[in-house]
Structure 1
Amino acid sequence: MGRHAARPAEQDIATMLAAAAVLFREVSRAQADLDGYVHDARDAGASWQAVGEALGLTAAVARERFGPAVGSLTAGSVLQPAPVLQR
């Protein structure tokens, strides 16, 4: 079923949307489980390289997907002002 398939009847649309909603909930639960397992593995000492290899990703992609968001702060982090360039 692609974008170019014949337009389905309204009942078919409702059925597809209901199936999509069920799948979305299942994927969301699986995603939460995956995040938890990766977080636990990292807490236990797994490297991003090991996480990436286990999931078929590069270390950089694993870190980007499962690591802290860019710009997020942790309890011990401190914002530092950007250096001022002298002319």
Structure 2
Amino acid sequence: RLGRFVRWVPKVVISGFMNGIAVLIWVGEIQSLFGWWGKNNYAGGITSNLAVAAMTLILIVVLPGLLGRVDRRLNSFFPATLLAIVIATAICSF
């Protein structure tokens, strides 16, 4: 119900809000990845953490091109970022 009031909020305000959230998430994840400010939540040491982060970033860059070659509609149906996170999670689970 309250969503209809969003149209009264300027797009610049919404963009700034979303960018602020993105920065907070990024800083929190970087702190966890490198083990700054507290205990490291990821097991396996810095090398394996960086390998997982690099693999996920590579997948995010490579997957749109691969999906575009198979079928252009797949690229819009399965976002590359979501697919990369699912693949990286599946690989790390085993």
TM-score range, shorter chain: 0.3 to 0.5
TM-score, normalization by structure 2: 0.34
* Bigger helix fraction: 2
Task: Decide which structure has the larger Cα Rg and report it.
Answer: 1
